[in-house]
Structure 1
Amino acid sequence: MLKPATAARIAGGALGLAVLGGLATIAMPEGLPGAPAAAAASEGYDRTVSPDAVAQQEVLKADAILAAAEAGLNAAHEKGQQVTIAIVDRSGSTRLVLKTENAGPQTQESAERKAFTAVSFGQPTSALTEGASGDEPNLSDIPGTLFLAGGVPVISNGTPIAGIGVGGAPDGAIDEEIARAALHALETYRD
């Protein structure tokens, strides 16, 4: 069961929660139960866009993300590592962050940036380290990227749809082993 603060945060992000004069109001998108469909229709927003204007996008299910994170957490515990596991979607937005009990404060940013880098380039971050060195401008100059081992892309139908990043182990190869354990959970996931 969600705590009230968590539920409010979720509702605020999904439905537009506003506090006015001490009273909370929720702006609900059209089509949801209780949404002001008549108001939207009267303002000319009742038209449907052309199907040619819409792209379908594959995304990981929430339950699959949780299963992947749990598999990564189990791998971290088996290896005796204190890490953060981050999973981002195709746009690089964070979908999940999970920390072991004693993961350092720097591990979250590291994990998120590795996941972002893996999905951005569709390759494990360990494979990208060579292109990120030298004095000339290079891949590591792109904001939000981190070219250390520990990030793996999630590929579906030949396209990266998410990234898994792990930060905190004393060696990036260990971070990547944990990330691959999380990836393996997605490869074998069943509803």
Structure 2
Amino acid sequence: MDIKKIAVATLVVLTVGGGYAAADQRTTTRTEKVLTIDAAVRAAQATLDAAEKENQRVTVAVVDRSGDLVVLLAGDGAGPQTEDSARRKAFTAVSFNAATSELAGRVTGQGATLRDIPNTLFLGGGVPVTVDGTSIAGIGVGGAPSGDLDEKFARAGLATLR
């Protein structure tokens, strides 16, 4: 084989092979937006402040995209059940990219439903934090006398992120 043919063959292999390597790299990694700890703390504190202004004793949870707890603030006098409630509402909101009050109507019926998924809670009080329509975190509140109030406070925290 002469030198020209070897050079052309090598160039073709490098060009095609390099294309495959680049394609592999593009499909095996991704960049995701995340809520910073500072933003999570700010949102949680604003949520708790909104509840305290109305003399409500609540707990606030902020979870990341994976549902892992990032911030938990228990207000003075919040009941022991409020921690789990807040965390599960935040987890549910981020998992389904919807407010838990909106999801509550979807979990009725006989047999297995969304309600059977572990760590979820389909009561008002959880809202997703979204960027370009994608959930990146969830805020959950537990402890007010109604899910509507819990959600109102969660939305107050969410508003600090806009």
Q: TM-score, normalised by structure 1?
A: 0.70
Q: Is 1:140 aligned with 2:135?
A: no
Moved more, 128-137 or 140-149: 128-137
Aligned-pair identity (%) = 53
Question: SS at 2:139's partner residue?
Answer: strand
| Partner residue, 2:85 | 110
- Give deviations 1:65-90, integer Å, cap 9, x for gaps: 11101111110111110000000011
Deviation per residue, 1:31-61 (Å, 9 max, x gap): xxxxxxxxxxxxxxxxxx9464221111111
Amino acid at match of 1:83: V
> Is residue 2:72 matched to residue 1:97?
yes
In the other structure, the counterpart of 1:167 is: 142
- Please give the per-residue CA displacement for 1:116-136, whole angstroms capped at 9, x wherever unaligned: 000011000000111112322
- The code of the aligned residue for 2:53 comes to E
1:149 is aligned, of 124, 131, 149, to 124
* Structure 2: segments with no counterpart, 5+ residues: 1-23
- Higher normalized helix content (fraction of residues): 2
In the alignment, structure 1 segments of 5+ residues that lack a partner are: 1-48
Residues of 2 paired with 1:130 and 1:70: CA distance?
29
Aligned length: 139
C-alpha RMSD of the superposition: 1.3
TM-aligned CA deviation for residue 103 of structure 1: 0.5
Q: Per-residue deviation at 1:155?
A: 0.6
Q: Tell me, in whole angstroms, the C-alpha distance in 1 between the residues paired with 2:129 and 2:49.
A: 19
Task: State how far apart, in whole Å, the 2-side matches of 1:83 and 1:133 are.
Answer: 27
1:84, 1:70 → 2: CA distance?
10
Query: In the alignment, which residue of structure 2 is the partner of 1:63?
Result: 38
Give, in whole Å, the separation in 2 of the partners of 1:103 and 1:133. Answer: 30
Higher relative contact order (CA 8 A, sep 6+): 2
2:160 matches 1:185: yes
